[in-house]
Amino acid sequence: MKPCNAEPMCVRHAAFTLVSVSDLKVLLERKQIADRVAEIGKQITRDFSGESVIFVGVLKGAAIFLSDLARQVDLDATFDFIGVSSYGNRPSPTQELQSGWDSTGEVRLTKDVDHSMRDKNVILVEDILDTGLTLTYLRRILMAHQPRSFKIAALLDKPSRRKQAIEADYVGFKIPDEFVVGYGLDYAERYRNLPDICIFPRN
């Protein structure tokens, strides 16, 4: 793996330290991501040929994936967004790095969809599927809207972290249990704008 291709950055905070971008290792390069997103777009176009779909992006991490994916789908498509958080205070960046923000299993809705999903072909778009706790919760919320069909598109999948038996219908890449940033994924709200997906060191 090569260093992440972006300008150097190193910022220290009282509770955590941001790693210089030049010290991050690339897990997935931008071209790999673009090629795979295009393939998923073609698959969705085939699966829903002649129908319309609504993409529901999970804020904030899925925003870049959703925008790129939607442009690869040759269908009548609309967007909506949904937001979730953990109950209580969000873990510190250091705790999140070790365990993930939803590791307690206590997930709450912070933003519901703005439009009716009833009788619609709904594709929930998520940046990463790991424990499955968040997507299990969101599937229950969205299925209550009685969509015509419901699918999940996840850019990344960490099967080794799964706590709930849930799988995505469209998966970009299966990855090892590494903390990753870039292409919408963050650490302490940083690194989302990196064009590659990079490994952030846990230590």
Contact status, residue 93 vs residue 11, Cβ threshold 8 Å: no
Kindly list the catalytic residues: 130
Better-predicted residue by pLDDT, 88 or 193: 193
Residue 35 CB coordination number (10 Å):
10
15-60 residue pLDDT tens:
567 888 888 999 999 999 999 999 999 999 999 999 999 999 999 9
Better-predicted residue by pLDDT, 78 or 85: 78
pLDDT score, position 114: 96
Weakest mean pLDDT among 15-24, 85-94, 106-115, 191-200: 85-94
Written as six digits, the tokens of 127 are 């940046």
3-state SS track over 123-168: EEEEEEECCCHHHHHHHHHHHCCCCCEEEEEEEEECHHHCCCCCCC
Q: Which of 155, 16, 34 is nearest to 98 (CA)?
A: 16
**Residue 93 banded pLDDT, cuts 50, 70, 90:** low
Q: To 5 degrees, how large is the angle CA 123–CA 114–CA 103?
A: 60
Q: Does residue 7 have a pLDDT over 90?
A: no
pLDDT score, position 22: 87
Maximum separation of any 2 CA atoms in the chain, in Å: 54
pLDDT score, position 23: 87
Contact status, residue 22 vs residue 1, Cβ threshold 8 Å: no
Task: Give the separation between CA 193 and CA 186, rounded to whole angstroms.
Answer: 9
pLDDT score, position 202: 79
pLDDT average, residue stretch 93-98: 60
151-187 residue pLDDT tens:
999 999 999 989 999 999 999 999 999 999 999 999 9
